[in-house]
Amino acid sequence: MKHDIYIDWELGGTNPYKPLLTRVITAALAAEHVPIPCGVDVLLTTDEGIREINLEQRQIDAATDVLSFPMLELTPGTPPDGTGEDELDPETGLCPLGDMVISVDRAKAQAEEFGHSVQREIAYLAVHSVLHLLGYDHLDEGPQKARMRAREEAILEELGITRDHWNEELDAPLTEEAPEEVPVKRCGMITLCGRPNVGKSTLTNALVGEKVAIVSSKPQTTRNRICAVLTRGENQFVFLDTPGLHKAANRLGDYMVDVVKKSVADVDAVLLLVEPIAHVGGPEKELIQQIKGMKVPSVLVINKIDTVEKGQLLAVMEAYSKEHDFTAILPISAKRKEGLEELLDLAATFLPEGPQLFPRDVVTDQPERQICAEIVREKLLYCLDKEIPHGTAVEVTKFSERESGIIDLHVTIYCEKSSHKGIIIGKQGSMLKRISTMAREDVERFMGTKVYLETWVKVKENWRDNLNLIRNFGFDSRD
């Protein structure tokens, strides 16, 4: 099973423990019979680094050996299976188990004290932390602690790790077989369109296997046309994720509707994404009228099929077939990644012959600054209620890289009212801290390096109706 184990290194030089931690954490999850792919973030730091985290998170001025921050409330011995609340990230399909922090300084000191290798100590701390993330605890000297200690030793022994023996295979470099690269022979542009909140951004991210578009349960999340690129074998797909077609309420809304209409033109195929409802609404009818005037293949993609019985899909297909003779109709679940291979196989038949438009390793045409800004806006949508997040814009005012590879990122969040500013900041800055922490973690995952993020909140009244401000924030429909 492929888990997403992200390992950050705060010490100098190259991290020598990445293969070890990857293998140990994977083995610990397997030993606990975790049946779904999980996400675990690991920070390897110094005594000073873990002391700072202890002070910030636990109000304890001490350099401990390991810290664990579970994301879920789990019962020991009952691993997550993806059915419980918050057990599955709809964007990544992963179970977010949580974070662990290990002091390499402390691990080295303890290894010397106990008379075994540093690797053995770090492996023990990693297993210990994984069990914490899975609900185990040792608050007392009773059965809880005994059970946890027994599981730790059993997992380590299964890995070939004891106080007297070290399994050298755990230190072997991680190697992935590189796929044989073939020249791209077919390349084309495919638009994803549909009403707000139908799952276009979730589908875009699922198709390319990377987070290039922000996702939210709230409608009108996407504001710009986002270009996502997937290169597979001889084919290069360029997907255009568009804002949902809706009735504009301000000039920003006018811009978003204009982006949709322009994105449907001059492409090689159109995917109309709809929900499994046996009724063709106004936005869908408007898009179908545009599709009818184009001489390109069109596919009706019925998303969210995991929310209905299969028998209900026939009525949906029948309703849309009366409106337009689609080239094909495909039921999928972008959230669960069901039907995506069939969709890509079909889309490949629409690609014209021609050279690739983007390098093979590129997944989007968006600059890194814009992606970082969008990630912050996604967290605003996630953390805030009602209209407030839709009245926000995000501007990156500083994006610089140090010689060490660390990114310094300064971000300004604009809102429309002073009362909104207070809500975004929260009591004693708690809400802004939550938004910033979530955003930083996602940006670090995207950039593959440590990020220092600073955020400010400013008021720009009625900016969504101010054409100059809309353009300053990057929303400009002029050719």
Q: Which pairs with CB-CB distance under 8 Å and at least 24 residues apart come from 45-50?
A: 45/10, 45/11, 45/101, 45/102, 45/103, 45/104, 46/10, 46/11, 46/103, 46/104, 46/105, 47/103, 47/105, 47/106, 49/10, 49/101, 49/103, 50/101, 50/102, 50/103, 50/106
Of the candidates 253, 252, 294, which has an alpha carbon nearest to the alpha carbon of residue 271? 294
Residue 79 carries which DSSP code?
-
Find the range with the poorest average confidence among 121-135, 366-380, 444-458, 460-474.
460-474
CA 299 – CA 327 distance, rounded (Å): 6
Which residue has better confidence, 122 or 242? Answer: 122
Half-sphere exposure of 8 (CA within 13 A, CB side): 25
Find the range with the poorest average confidence among 53-57, 157-161, 251-255.
251-255
* pLDDT grade for 465, boundaries at 50, 70 and 90: low
How wide is the angle at C-alpha 78 spanned by C-alphas 76 and 81, nearest 5°? 135
What pLDDT, in 10s, does the model give residues 169-183? Answer: 999 988 765 556 788
Find the range with the poorest average confidence among 280-284, 398-402, 421-425, 459-463.
459-463
Strand partners, 364: 228
Share of the chain above pLDDT 90, in %: 43
CA 382 – CA 216 distance, rounded (Å): 6
**In this structure, are residues 274 and 323 in contact, taking their beta carbons and an 8 Å threshold?**
no
DSSP-assigned letters across all residues of 286-320: HHHHHHHTS-S-EEEEE--GGGS-GGGHHHHHHHH
267's enclosing H/E stretch is none
Strand partners, 226: 241
Average pLDDT for residues 179-207, to the nearest whole number? Answer: 84
- Tell how far CA 442 is from the center of its chain: 7
Q: How high is the pLDDT of residue 93?
A: 79
Average pLDDT for residues 20-31, to the nearest whole number? Answer: 96
Find the range with the poorest average confidence among 73-82, 84-93, 366-375, 447-456.
84-93
* pLDDT grade for 340, boundaries at 50, 70 and 90: very high
Of the candidates 236, 231, 286, which has an alpha carbon nearest to the alpha carbon of residue 264? 286
Rg value, the chain, Cα: 25
Q: How high is the pLDDT of residue 299?
A: 95
Of the candidates 122, 125, 127, which has an alpha carbon nearest to the alpha carbon of residue 31? 127
* pLDDT grade for 214, boundaries at 50, 70 and 90: low
**188 has pLDDT over 70:** yes
Q: How high is the pLDDT of residue 245?
A: 36
Q: How high is the pLDDT of residue 244?
A: 39
SS3 197: coil
Average pLDDT for residues 46-63, to the nearest whole number? Answer: 91
What pLDDT, in 10s, does the model give residues 70-126? Answer: 999 999 999 999 888 788 877 677 899 999 999 999 999 999 999 899 999 999 999
Residue 353 carries which DSSP code?
B
Of the candidates 53, 159, 152, 150, which has an alpha carbon nearest to the alpha carbon of residue 102? 53
**476 has pLDDT over 60:** no
Q: How high is the pLDDT of residue 432?
A: 92
What pLDDT, in 10s, does the model give residues 116-146? Answer: 999 999 999 999 999 999 999 877 667 888 8
SS3 388: helix
What pLDDT, in 10s, does the model give residues 255-288? Answer: 334 443 444 456 889 999 999 999 999 889 988 9
